[in-house]
């Protein structure tokens, strides 16, 4: 059953983002159904139980993320159910992709392709998942990747929640995600204490990271790092590092009156992505909404 309370909260978050950032309204409305469906599935879907007790905290301390210690995807996961559900949300938000998505759905429903094959270690490493599916289905590789990355988020978000609940506090001092190893898509700086938290768009995990170091290249030279602001927009900026030429969209939390979804916040600040890429910087991670190449 669809979580109506969650959907209502997400609708409010997206509506507020559209009101505050009308320039991003079309993109927010397109991704809205997808994000709502992802949040619902990640909290309700049944996944295979993994033995999280085997996670090595010493390896974590040395910068080895969980995803490099064992596979977070299992053939027994409800990948078919998740893929079919996410695909319907994609068609709702991106109607131009309907033909390609329907071809994928047809093959999955007839068990001619298995979603798990997209996430095997060999396929990911060699990018075979995208190539083989696209060749068989005669559709764009980018559309295949788009859909399956959205499916991946559901699995990894659920895994991230379960892993952090199991591990509790653990040492992590890297700028990439301790769960899946991806670099952050956006950062949040707390009003009280000024702590910076990084957000992973691949699995939804948030973690603390010092403000005096570049998350991407670990540059510590203050003269090589800065924040780019738009006039009269003091609550949003882009952290930039001139050593690695990367940027990171950053928001400042002034109180906790409203609920926030970090992916919605990231999409709503797409104008900052455009500005920073025009200036020659590249994002720390490529998302479905910030890749303009």
Nearest to 185 by CA among 243, 280, 244, 251: 251
- Residue 96's pLDDT is 95
User: The pTM is what?
Assistant: 0.92
List the helix and strand counts (H, then E) for the chain.
10, 7
Contact 228, 237 (CB under 8 A): yes
Please give the Cα distance from 224 to 241 (Å, whole number). 6
Measured in degrees and rounded to the nearest 5, phi and psi for residue 249 equal -60, 135
Please give the Cα distance from 265 to 240 (Å, whole number). 18
Tens-digit pLDDT profile for residues 140-149 = 888 888 999 9
Please give the Cα distance from 246 to 240 (Å, whole number). 6
Of the two residues 158 and 170, the one the predictor is more confident about is 158
Residues sharing a CB contact under 8 Å with residue 246, sequence separation 6 or more, in sequence order? 214, 216, 217, 240, 281, 282, 283, 284
pLDDT over 70 (residue 292): no
What would the mean pLDDT of 266-278 be, rounded to a whole number? 95
Of the two residues 268 and 258, the one the predictor is more confident about is 268
For residue 247, name the pLDDT band (cuts at 50, 70, 90): very high
Please give the Cα distance from 267 to 288 (Å, whole number). 9
- Residue 122's pLDDT is 45
Mean pLDDT of the chain: 89
Task: Indicate the range of 85-94, 132-141, 187-196 predicted with least confidence.
Answer: 132-141
- Residue 129's pLDDT is 56
For residue 76 the two structure tokens come to 């027994």
């Amino acid at each position: 059953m669809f979580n109506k309370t969650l959907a209502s909260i997400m609708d409010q978050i997206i509506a507020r983002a559209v009101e505050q950032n009308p320039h991003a309204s079309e993109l927010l409305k397109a991704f809205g159904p997808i994000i709502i469906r992802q949040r619902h599935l990640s909290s309700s879907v049944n996944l295979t139980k993994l033995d999280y007790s085997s996670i090595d905290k010493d390896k974590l301390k040395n910068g080895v993320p969980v995803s490099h210690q064992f596979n977070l995807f299992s053939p027994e996961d409800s990948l078919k159910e998740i893929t079919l559900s996410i695909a319907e949300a994609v068609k709702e938000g991106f109607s131009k992709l309907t033909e390609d998505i329907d071809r994928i759905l047809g093959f999955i429903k007839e068990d001619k392709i298995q979603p798990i094959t997209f996430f095997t270690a060999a396929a990911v490493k060699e990018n075979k998942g995208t190539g083989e599916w696209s060749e068989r289905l005669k559709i764009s590789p980018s559309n295949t990747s788009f859909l399956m990355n959205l499916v991946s988020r559901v699995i990894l978000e659920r895994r991230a929640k379960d892993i952090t609940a199991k591990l509790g506090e653990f040492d992590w001092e890297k700028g990439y995600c301790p769960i899946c190893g991806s670099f952050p898509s956006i950062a949040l700086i707390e009003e009280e204490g000024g702590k910076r938290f990084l957000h992973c768009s691949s699995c939804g995990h948030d973690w603390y990271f010092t403000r005096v170091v570049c998350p991407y290249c670990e540059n510590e030279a203050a003269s090589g790092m800065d924040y780019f602001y738009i006039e009269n927009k003091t609550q949003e900026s882009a952290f930039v590092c001139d050593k690695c030429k990367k940027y990171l969209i950053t928001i400042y939390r002034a109180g906790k009156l409203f609920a926030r979804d970090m992916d919605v916040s990231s999409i709503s600040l797409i104008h900052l992505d455009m500005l920073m890429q025009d200036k020659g910087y590249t994002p720390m991670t490529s998302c479905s909404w910030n890749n303009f190449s």
